Amino acid sequence: MHSDSKSAPSIVVIGSCSVDFTTYAPRLPMPGETLHGSKFSTSFGGKGANQCVAAAKLGGNTYMIGRAGDDQWGLKYKEHLKAEGVNVSHFFTTPNVTTGIAQISVAESGENQIVIVAGANNFLSKSDVQSSAELITHADVLIGQLETPLETTLEAFKLNKGVKLLNAAPARSDIQQILQYCTILCVNESEAALITNMEVTTLNTKQVLAKLLNSGCETVVITLGEKGAVYATKADPQPIHVFCRSVKPVDTTGAGDAFVGALANFLVKHKDLPLHQIIGAACEVATISVTKEGTQTSYPSNIDAFTNKYDFIKL
């Protein structure tokens, strides 16, 4: 298993894990409406664990710092992460609390609706950061999101000496404090709009990126779904739009997490390549994921996402 290798660059994820209970139906229900669905599945999710598994499946040396409950799902989750090649030596159990869950509805169009109950994820604390301080400090890439307490992620970002990658999801606007510690901020269009208080359109992408760079991050990536991603850096603030191939989506759940996990993995494995190629390859991993049902189960393994050159334009 790749996670035993001490010399390989490490990807440490601090964040959430939850169990996804997913129903599939012809369309999403209207408020107060009951629909007959076609299928039900139980799977492992949560943004943090999704990103960790996405990186591990691509051969990354990954560690998960998170919390599960002391229920049957917590035990199953730990075993699952191990089976995916993730190091779980800093994955904690919380007594008398349920493991986080997400209730997901998926329509035939690929659209989804999600209700999350955070459970043990709310208990990921600064003391967990302290007990994992050595691992966090020396991680080549540290990934955080917003499904666990912000002050915990902030504490970890202050310690880390490598690349700090924040996926500011789910969307919230009160994160200015952590942005100055970010090497890379990765957001989708609605998250970028909420943080900047500006609508993201093709005409004002440059202004939105500039405002986000101004808040302290070195690089900002805005994912655009099937349109690829656009990014800018402090060193070169001119936005670059990277394109991805078009596919018919089957299930878009967790595609953003596939992108983030792949991005972290490629940043350590292909650091000599230009950023637009690394982002293009991460888009390709996310694209593959939307062509299959499920979240972590849809993430590809053993693929070379660098076989093609990715098209990009300067905006």
140, 251, 257, 304: which one is catalytic?
257
CA distance 46 to 198: 28
DSSP 87: B
Angle between the N-to-C axes of helices 255-269 and 275-290, in degrees from 0 to 180, rounded to the nearest 10? 140
Length of the chain: 315
Residues 283, 289, 285, 279, Cα dihedral to 10°:
20
Largest CA distance in the chain: 55
Q: Is the dihedral of CA 267, 229, 102, 153 positive or negative?
A: positive
DSSP 5: -
257: annotated active-site residue: yes
CA distance 213 to 112: 31
| Residues annotated as part of the active site | 257
